[in-house]
Chains A and B, each alone.
Chain A
Amino acid sequence: MGLLDRFESVTRATQEFDANGVNPFGVAWDDVLSQTEAMWRGRKVVLAGTHNYLGLTFSEDCIEAGVTALRQRGTGTTGSRIANGTYPDHFALEAQLATWFDKRVCMVFTTGFQANLGVVATLGGPDDVLLIDSDSHASIYDAVKLSSAKILRFRHNDMKDLEHRLERLEGTPGNRIIVAEGIYSMLGDRAPLAEMIAIKKRFGAYLILDEAHSVGVLGPSGRGLAEELGLLDDVDVLTGTFSKSFGTVGGFCVSSLPDFEVMRLVCRPYMFAASLPPAVIASTSAAVRALQTTPALRLRLWRNIPVLYNGLRAAGFAVGPHEGPIVAVAAGKGRDLAVHTWNQLLEAGFYVNLALSPATPGGISLLRCSVSAAHTVEQLQGLVDALTRIAQGNGLLPAPLAVAAG
């Protein structure tokens, strides 16, 4: 048997994508022009699937900071921090984030994926129980596989189900660690954090909260869902990414747990991965400053979100339950119509994400759009109009998302 035989269905699906149009998971840009535009096959395309929430990828300050660091400290660190030492800018960024989140310790990881992988896998020990939301990101599903803890999955955002699972554990040893996300990446909906924290306290559990999609987006100073609800102190470990609102790459966690520093010597995705290049650290640090000093970025994002969310809803599409930077449009149960619609939309000059089962909740297909502060209202209105026109033409009747999401 061939080594890749078990992926035969994926190989077949890819061949079908290629035969019927463009492979939605393999788009190749001729060039990227700005935060919101790229060239594709000689045409200009509006980027509405890149999670560039604050549009900082082309910020002058972030670019300049990166260029300066690149010249001053070189192209890369050539190794991990435990082996090669830490550059001053890495510590400075960690101090900046720890202060901003009002937590004692911050650790920077090389990707957001690794931040979740490292934190969740390391904190879940042999007698412990990790309770994860069923809509968790792939990094969390992979992290629990790496951990030595028992893993329980609760129904998405269903606090009764979480409570019930904690009750069933009564009398068994080990820490209970709840893992949730501020904004979920598929439907763009938010965790019921206040209820979750009340349950956490009642059962003496811990909470790891991934705010990858909510930092820079929610909260009076952009620190995420926990800040918005005044609950930052009740989050034991908060993880996040630099590849969305901050416009670079990397991940981080912040925590005030006693002895959290030991993670630098026990968390393997931190210990054994090369640290981020100085230029990335410098651009990220400039992006954090931009978030702190320019609330207008967030205001522009929130000016734009309703244009897409309300526009699509008014056109008759089923969208996710909460307004936010991810606007997910239900595109039916099957795969073909969703793939076809996605192709038509790209041809019409708009790039969004296609999400198919099993990556989606309830087995539905989703056209997942993301909004940026850098979008013009005209670009977003253009997307609403194009998608509406295409869907009316090809018979896409959106399924009720709330029911499909279970």
Chain B
Amino acid sequence: MAIPDSKTIAAAVMEALEPFSRPGQVLGRDTDIMADLEIDSVAVLDVVMVIEDKYDVSVPLELVPKIKTIGDFADQIAALLAGEK
């Protein structure tokens, strides 16, 4: 299977974060996960798990604080996949 690109991953991240969006909010790569969404730090970790399962990759907990936007999240997964596959 080809390694998905950051854009494809970002779409999956947006889908997983959709339940935490505010009414009428459009999510994009620049959406700041903690600041712009109705989400707490533990729920973010649970969303990370959903994405880990989808791409069969583990995201070490120490990398999570470095993820600020949806774009960062997707880039991080893409980098892990490129390193691991």
Q: What is the interface of chain A, defined by CB distance below 8 A to chain B?
A: 132, 134, 144-145, 150-153, 155, 161, 165, 168-169, 357-358, 363, 406
Contacts and interface: CB of A to CB of B under 8 A. Distances in A.
Interface residues of B, number: 14
A168 B57 contact: yes
Contacts of A144: 61
B41 A165 contact: no
B60 A152 contact: yes
Given A153-B49, A168-B56, A168-B57, A363 B62 contact: no
A168 B82 CA distance: 14
Given A155-B49, A168-B56, A168-B57, A150 B42 contact: no
Contacts of A169: 58
A152 B58 contact: yes
A363 B43 contact: yes
Q: Top 3 nearest A-B pairs by Cβ distance?
A: A151-B61, A358-B42, A358-B40
Contact of A357 (B40, B45, B56, B57): B40
Contacts of B57: 168
B41 A358 contact: yes
Given A168-B57, A358-B41, A363-B43, A151 B62 contact: yes
A299 B54 CA distance: 47
Contacts of B46: 134, 406
Contact of B43 (A132, A153, A165, A358): A358
A251 to B, nearest CB: 23
A151 B60 CA distance: 5
Nearest to A168: B58
Contacts of B40: 357-358, 363
B58 A165 contact: yes
Interface in B12-69: 40-43, 45-46, 49, 56-58, 60-62
Contacts of A155: 49
A169 B56 CA distance: 11
A144 B62 CA distance: 9
A155 B62 CA distance: 17
Contact of B62 (A150, A358, A406): A150
Contacts of A153: 45, 49, 61
A134 B61 CA distance: 11
B64 to A, nearest CB: 9
Interface string B58-85: 1011100000000000000000000010
Given A153-B45, A153-B49, 5 more contacts: A152-B61, A169-B58, A358-B40, A358-B42, A363-B43
Nearest to B59: A152
Nearest to A131: B58
Nearest to A153: B61
Contacts of A132: 61
A217 B44 CA distance: 34
A406 B84 CA distance: 28
A406 B43 CA distance: 11
B3 to A, nearest CB: 15
Contacts of B56: 168
Contacts of B42: 357-358, 363
B45 to A, nearest CB: 6
Contacts of A363: 40, 42-43
A153 B60 CA distance: 8
A161 B58 CA distance: 11
A107 B56 CA distance: 39
Contacts of A150: 60, 62
A363 B56 CA distance: 25
23 contacts: A132-B61, A134-B45, A134-B49, A144-B61, A145-B62, A150-B62, A151-B62, A153-B49, A155-B49, A161-B49, A165-B58, A168-B57, A168-B58, A168-B84, A169-B58, A357-B40, A357-B42, A357-B43, A358-B42, A358-B43, A363-B40, A363-B42, A363-B43
Contacts of B62: 145, 150-151
The listed residue with most A CB atoms (<10 A of its CB), out of B40, B45, B58, is B58
Contacts of B41: 358
B18 to A, nearest CB: 16
Nearest to B61: A151
Contacts of B84: 168
B78 to A, nearest CB: 17
A144 B58 CA distance: 16
A165 B84 CA distance: 13
B33 to A, nearest CB: 14
